[in-house]
Amino acid sequence: MVKINEIRDQSEEHLQYRLSEINRERFDIVNELKAAHKTEKPHLLKELKKEKARILTVLTERKNSAERKKDGSK
């Protein structure tokens, strides 16, 4: 599991790429689950969902921080 501090150290391009990977992985797992009504790694769905939320949180923080700097407020 990736920790939030590790995510904060990564570039925005890398985070966007990782988001697309997560979406692809989740899509594959969900399709496997729908087709076979079971999956070998059901725990991955929960982990991927949490990692996606962490990445989106960091990206939102960066966006808000950039907007504050642009506006000149804290």
**What digits encode the pLDDT tens for the residues 11-48?**
999 999 999 999 999 999 999 999 998 888 889 999 99
Burial class (CB in 10 A: 0-12, 13-18, 19+), 20: exposed
- Compute CA distances 13 → 6, 18, 20, whole Å: 15, 9, 11
pLDDT greater than 80 at residue 73: no
CA distances from 6 to 27, 43, 48, 68 (A): 24, 21, 15, 24
Domain architecture of the chain: domains with CATH: 4-69 (1.10.287)
| Residue 31 CB coordination number (10 Å) | 11
